[in-house]
Amino acid sequence: MFSRRDALKLSAVAGVGMVLPAQQLASALSDDPPVVTPFSVPLPIPPVLRPVTSSRSADHYEMVVTPATARIFPGLDTRVLTFNGSFPGPTIRSRRGRAAIVKVTNKMSTPAAVHLHGANVAPESDGHPLDTIDPGASRLYHYPNSQPAATLWYHDHAHHVEAEQVYRGLTGAYLISDSETDALRLPSGEFDIPLVIRDAQFDGDGQLVWKLDDFANRKTVLVNGAIQPTHKVKRRKYRLRLINAANSRPLRLALNPASEVIQIASDGGLLGRPVARPEVELWPAERAEIVIDFSKFPSGSNVILENTFNGPETPGRQLLRFEVTGSVVADDSVVPAKLRDLEDLGTPTVTRRIVLARDPTNTFYAIDGKAYDPKRIDLTVKRGTTELWEVVNDDGQYNFPHSIHLHLVQFRVLERAGQPVGEWEAYPKDTARVPAGQTVKILVKFDSEFTGVYPFHCHFFDHSSMAMMANMQVLP
Ligand code: C2O
Ligand code: CU
Ligand code: CU
């Protein structure tokens, strides 16, 4: 389609009366984003947020939610939404047993709700879609950090606009550590790096293009806010915390040249034991911690982290380059053969079937045939009980993928399509992929001390923003 904008561009090009090389002419006529030379920018590491004060039992933080600009393309300012001006937001590093109290001030013109994804929190700190911070207002979120060490992330959750606000930048990593995990001596410090991965569509001016449910056109993938960054690594082990912060893009992460990575953790923390894997599949909101031992690659070599989800044609396939430098260095970090014990969730006393499907009118996405009403309670559960949820993707005919995410608790994935899952999925998780036409069984124990109303939803934000969400009430 030839738009007015294209016409203006064409007349501008024609008006100067010069002959442009075919390629330049093509880019002047298209809305393709500016070109970034692959692997020309260093991998940004989001800043670690410092507490403003600390008491014996808690750290107090302050964040503002604010529009800002990010330098994604050389010489261009891209308008984004941020926590504290950082795209993605700053990393919060907290410790099990020490609460984090975060004061958030909303400097946007729209409401914000901050949700700490994967966390055990009271309902008033959960960022429920209607429990928002008005423009200009502030509120305190209280995170008890009572759960085991894990890679969590925080993001906006304001009703109906979370997909856009997350897309524009409202995400950040939140890492909980604990003494049991410290004792394992996994790679730490500068060798422990969060990688927040998401996709986007940019226009010819390097600005974000937002269109709900337009996953197919988000062809640029960003790692920690940069396009195809590069990172110099020493020849030793690194712990990478992978967070899929994309609205709708599944990732299947692999190294090129092909080499196994060691997965040590998923959403809810450590696996029972490390698992060597040729690739790690990570759908929106899922996390995986992997260890890569770069001592096995020669000095001077490049190792590329790729997304192979859609095969060789995957848009933005090459995500990040590691430049392996120097000789093998002393490395006292270890990946022990055993990481942690799995607690038994008991036998389910309630079985439910949860159906994820596009509404037949094709105007929204539904859970059990209903569009999300943030004021409606869709189901009640009793604190302390174990339930079996059979989550059905009933969109096989359209080939639509979905997923299931529960606030408040970590569950176990038992089986998908009738088959037991790989052990990397059998550990505590808060988000499980539910591919088109598939049924996934999860075992949920409502073992939190908190009760109240919490959402559960598909974590394709394009879908949850289009009503694929529901409320559960945890009763005492
Ligand atoms: Cu990532 Cu309702 O959450
Ligand atoms: Cu969540
Ligand atoms: Cu969905």
**Model pLDDT for residues 284-326, shown as the tens digit of each residue:** 999 999 999 999 999 999 999 999 998 777 778 999 999 999 9
**Nearest Cα residue to 373 out of 467, 465, 245:** 467
Give me the count of residues in the chain: 476
Neighbours of ion ligand 2 (CB under 5 A): 117, 407
Strand, coil or helix: 20: coil
Per the listing, tokens 């390629």 go with 23
**Angle between the 4-15 and 22-29 helix axes, to the nearest 10 degrees?**
140
**Nearest Cα residue to 408 out of 341, 364, 454:** 454
Per the listing, tokens 């260093």 go with 42
Instruction: Confirm or reject: Cβ of 287 under 6 Å from ligand 1.
Output: no
Amino acid at 385: T
What average pLDDT does this structure show over 174-189? 97
Cβ atoms 305, 228 nearer than 8 A? no
Exposed / middle / buried, residue 66 (Cβ in 10 Å: 0-12, 13-18, 19+): middle
> How many Cα atoms sit within 13 Å of 453 on the Cβ side?
14
Amino acid at 232: K
9 vs 324: which has the higher pLDDT:
324
Per the listing, tokens 């911690």 go with 289
Cβ atoms 83, 63 nearer than 8 A? yes
**For residue 368, what is the enclosing H or E element?**
none
The residue whose C-alpha atom lies closest to atom 1 belonging to ligand 1 is 117
Handedness of CA 28, 31, 35, 36 (dihedral sign): positive
Distance CA 178, CA 84 (A): 26
Per DSSP, the residues of 92-140 read: EEEETTSEEEEEEEE-SSS-B-EEEET----GGGS--TTS-BPTT-EEE
Q: Could you tell me the distance, in angstroms and rounded to a whole number, from the CA of residue 247 to the centre of ligand 2? A: 13
Amino acid at 81: L
Instruction: Confirm or reject: Cβ of 463 under 6 Å from ligand 1.
Output: no
pLDDT in tens, 399-456: 999 999 999 999 999 999 999 999 899 999 999 999 999 999 999 999 999 999 999 9
Per the listing, tokens 């999300």 go with 372
pLDDT in tens, 214-245: 999 999 999 999 999 999 999 999 999 999 99
For the CA of 153, the nearest atom of ligand 1: 1
The residue whose C-alpha atom lies closest to atom 3 belonging to ligand 1 is 117
Please tell me the predicted confidence (pLDDT) of residue 438. 98
Ligand nearest to the CA of 157: 1
Please tell me the predicted confidence (pLDDT) of residue 361. 85
Cβ atoms 252, 280 nearer than 8 A? yes
Ligand nearest to the CA of 468: 3
Distance CA 111, CA 125 (A): 16
For the CA of 117, the nearest atom of ligand 1: 1
**Nearest Cα residue to 174 out of 156, 198, 149, 199:** 149
Exposed / middle / buried, residue 246 (Cβ in 10 Å: 0-12, 13-18, 19+): buried
Distance CA 228, CA 356 (A): 34
Per the listing, tokens 């020669």 go with 298
Handedness of CA 107, 111, 114, 117 (dihedral sign): negative
Sheet holding 150-156, edge to edge: 89-95, 171-177, 150-156, 114-117
Ligand nearest to the CA of 365: 3
Please tell me the predicted confidence (pLDDT) of residue 316. 85
What average pLDDT does this structure show over 38-47? 97
What is the band of 395 on the pLDDT scale with cuts at 50, 70, 90?
very high
What is the pLDDT of the chain when averaged over all its residues? 93
Instruction: Confirm or reject: Cβ of 458 under 6 Å from ligand 1.
Output: no
Angle at 265 between CA 81 and CA 340, to 5 degrees: 140
**Nearest Cα residue to 389 out of 466, 476, 456, 467:** 456
Q: DSSP secondary-structure letter at 59?
A: E
Strand, coil or helix: 269: strand
Q: How far is CA 424 from CA 202, 335, 389, 407, 409, in A?
A: 35, 16, 19, 20, 18
Please tell me the predicted confidence (pLDDT) of residue 30. 60
Q: Does the global pTM surpass 0.95?
A: no
